[in-house]
């Protein structure tokens, strides 16, 4: 067995991988947006949203359940039972992945029509094999994460992103240069995802050789282990698929309302929604850095619970909330106050689309903060055995999303501008309900105000400084230079304020690689 990494050390490894994959993703999606423009991006995201939903339905719950059961078995010294959990997860996820891949391959036209974008059918079919590959990948990741080793997950994610960049962007460029339409370009771009998931799976199969059970315990029957996985995993799946489900629901409702209520053509609606997706591309960035924290949090709290160490569970919960706020608040606020300049910087080839998308990102930037808080509070609830609570909070948010889309997007005075507002309202409601549930299950051991107020204050000052710096610098320098300088200045201001106000504690840093040394240098308490 491998040496177990600490909770925040594992989270740091995954977050580092996320940082690399996001850089690679930016090198992929930003040129892609410039190549495909709004119509092609609408086809791309139609396929990707179908894929994301099926992926979340198949992988959101079972890998986390496997991670939780593996961590619990390891805490009790049952190494062979941990391996049995992996076998059960592999069988279940393989079966689910095979079914969903078959659906995407055989029914792409039906799925595309359901999203009011028939031109996305080819891209959906190209993505079909990815679901099976990722399902098998997720089983391996759940096992290694439960053992406390996040490195195989991190490396496989980087491999997937690198392949997506090279293959996807290359194929898209080639097809468009050959005279193909935007729907073919979208299919070529998304082929990179399929190739990347296949290579990531091959790497994990190779890495799995290092993980061999060393215990002498008697594992439970495979059928019983499968039942335990399903009992925990199904509620997590429903809740974990929340963001993908909300995104898919959003697309279907928005496109449908634009066409049926406002009388727009399918092409005109796709162009408007394509502008919205430019904001959505950056909207999902902050949550991607928080998800590793949630993944590492679940086995850590589970092990504390297995040892009946309630104090440790409370400290882990408070630390997770504090780290989430420290990362999510400035990222979301920065996207909001500098929405226009950032989009103009990233998408110079389509300036009109970037300008139109600025409104969406201004609102979605704030919404991303609530998504981050939703991710971490979902993880806290799931680690504490409250898997069903996020289902009900998601349902409440989904209902609010439907209502707001109907009222706002269907209003001719708002149209597509109502979509991000509905997104903000729905996630805000989910977070409020989740925090109430966390407060109850932790029995008041976590002080939300204490965890959040310092990052919040630092973020407000940073946001005001970022906007002021951009306005001032824009008078003397080019827009792109002013944007880059404002971002750098805002980051510096935020870090200084966070350290000055004690938003980061020694206990937070000591779990990270060389964190104790950094805590000493910064004189943290």
- Give residue 512's pLDDT: 53
| Rounded Cα–Cα distance for residues 138 and 149 (Å) | 14
Cβ contact 37:353 at 8 Å: yes
Query: CA-CA distances (angstroms) from residue 121 to 2, 27, 117, 183, 186?
Result: 44, 25, 8, 9, 10
Straight-line distance from the first to the last Cα atom of the chain, in angstroms, rounded to the nearest whole number: 35
Cβ contact 27:162 at 8 Å: no
Q: Which residue has the tokens 């062979």?
A: 80
Structure tokens at 275: 């502008």
Q: Which residue has the tokens 């177990």?
A: 4
Q: Which H helix or E strand runs over 50?
A: helix 7-59
Structure tokens at 81: 């039972």
What is the DSSP annotation of 228-268?
Answer: HHHHHHHHHHHHHTHHHHHHHHHHHHHHHHHHHTS---HHH
- Give residue 297's pLDDT: 67
Q: Which residue has the tokens 């995993």?
A: 233
Burial call 217-234: b when 16+ CB within 10 Å, e when fewer: eebbeeeebbebbbebbb
Cβ contact 164:28 at 8 Å: yes
Q: Which residue has the tokens 């406390």?
A: 148
- Give residue 425's pLDDT: 93
479, 482, 487, 489 alpha-carbon torsion, rounded to 10°: -170
Number of neighbours of residue 50 by Cβ within 10 angstroms: 27
- Give residue 3's pLDDT: 44
Alpha helix ranges (H) inside 60-120: 62-75, 79-106, 108-114
Alpha helix ranges (H) inside 307-338: 310-337
- Sign (positive or negative) of CA dihedral 256, 261, 265, 268: negative
| Rounded Cα–Cα distance for residues 301 and 310 (Å) | 9
- φ/ψ bin of 212: left (φ > 0), alpha (ψ from -120 to 50), beta (otherwise): beta
Q: Which residue has the tokens 């634009």?
A: 258
3-state secondary structure string across 373-432: HHHHHHHHHHHCCCCCHHHHHHHHHHHHHHHHHHHHHCCCCCHHHHHHHHHHHHHHHHHH
- Per residue of the chain (525 residues), what is the pLDDT tens digit? 444 445 556 556 666 676 677 677 767 777 777 777 666 777 777 777 777 767 666 666 777 777 778 777 777 777 788 788 888 888 888 888 899 889 889 888 888 887 777 887 888 888 888 888 888 888 888 777 777 677 787 888 888 888 888 888 888 888 888 877 778 888 888 888 888 888 989 998 888 877 666 667 777 888 888 888 888 777 767 666 555 666 666 777 787 788 877 778 777 777 787 788 788 878 888 887 787 666 666 667 777 776 777 777 778 888 888 888 988 999 999 999 999 999 988 888 778 888 888 999 999 999 999 999 998 898 888 778 787 888 889 889 888 988 888 888 888 888 888 889 988 999 999 999 999 999 888 876 778 888 888 899 999 999 999 999 998 888 888 888 999 899 999 999 998 888 888 777 666 665 555 555 655 665 556
The domains of the chain are located at: 1-238, 241-525
Query: CA-CA distances (angstroms) from residue 262 to 43, 112, 268, 407, 411?
Result: 21, 21, 11, 12, 8
| Rounded Cα–Cα distance for residues 300 and 245 (Å) | 27
């Amino acid at each position: 067995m491998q040496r177990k990494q600490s909770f925040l050390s594992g989270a740091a490894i995954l977050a580092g991988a996320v940082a690399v994959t996001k850089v690679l993703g930016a090198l992929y999606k930003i040129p892609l947006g410039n190549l495909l423009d709004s119509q092609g991006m609408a086809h791309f995201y139609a396929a990707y949203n179908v894929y994301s939903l099926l992926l979340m339905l198949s992988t959101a719950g079972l890998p986390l359940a496997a991670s939780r059961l593996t961590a619990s078995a390891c805490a009790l010294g049952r190494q062979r039972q941990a391996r049995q959990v992996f076998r059960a997860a592999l069988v279940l996820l393989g079966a689910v992945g095979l079914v969903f891949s078959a659906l995407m391959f055989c029914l792409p036209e039906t799925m595309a029509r359901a999203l009011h974008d028939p031109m996305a059918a080819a891209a959906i079919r190209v993505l079909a094999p990815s679901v099976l590959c990722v399902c098998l990948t997720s089983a391996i990741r759940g096992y290694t994460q439960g053992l406390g080793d996040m490195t195989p997950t991190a490396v496989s994610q980087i491999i997937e992103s690198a392949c997506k960049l090279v293959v996807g962007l290359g194929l898209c460029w080639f097809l468009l240069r050959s005279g193909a339409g935007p729907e073919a370009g979208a299919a070529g771009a998304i082929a990179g995802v399929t190739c990347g998931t296949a290579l990531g799976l091959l790497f994990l199969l190779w890495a799995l050789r290092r993980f061999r059970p060393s215990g002498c315990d008697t594992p439970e029957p495979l059928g019983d282990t499968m039942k335990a996985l399903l009992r925990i995993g199904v509620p997590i799946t429903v809740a974990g698929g929340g963001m993908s489900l909300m995104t898919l629901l959003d697309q279907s409702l928005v496109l449908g309302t634009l066409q049926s209520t406002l009388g727009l053509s399918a092409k005109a609606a796709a162009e408007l929604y394509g502008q919205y997706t430019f904001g959505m591309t950056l909207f999902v960035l902050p949550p991607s850095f928080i998800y590793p924290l949630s993944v590492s949090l679940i086995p850590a709290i589970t092990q504390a619970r297995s040892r009946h160490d309630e104090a440790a569970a409370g400290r882990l919960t408070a630390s997770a909330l504090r780290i989430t706020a420290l990362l999510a608040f400035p990222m979301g606020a920065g996207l909001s106050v500098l929405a226009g300049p950032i989009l103009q910087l990233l998408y110079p080839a389509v300036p009109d689309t970037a300008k139109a998308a600025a409104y969406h990102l201004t609102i979605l930037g704030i919404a991303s903060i609530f998504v981050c808080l939703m991710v971490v509070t979902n993880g806290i609830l799931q680690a504490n055995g409250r898997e069903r609570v996020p289902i009900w909070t998601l349902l409440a948010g989904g209902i609010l999303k439907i209502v707001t889309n109907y009222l706002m997007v269907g209003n001719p005075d708002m149209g597509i501008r109502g979509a991000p507002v509905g997104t903000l309202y729905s996630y805000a409601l989910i977070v409020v309900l989740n925090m109430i549930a966390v407060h109850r299950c932790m029995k008041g051991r976590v002080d939300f105000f204490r965890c959040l107020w310092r990052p919040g204050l630092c973020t407000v000052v940073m946001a005001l400084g970022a906007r002021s710096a951009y306005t001032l610098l824009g008078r003397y320098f080019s827009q792109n230079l002013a944007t880059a300088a404002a971002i750098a200045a805002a980051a510096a201001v935020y870090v200084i304020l966070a350290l000055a106000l004690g938003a980061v504690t020694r206990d937070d840093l000591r779990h990270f690689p060389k964190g104790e040394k950094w805590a000493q240098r910064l004189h943290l308490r």
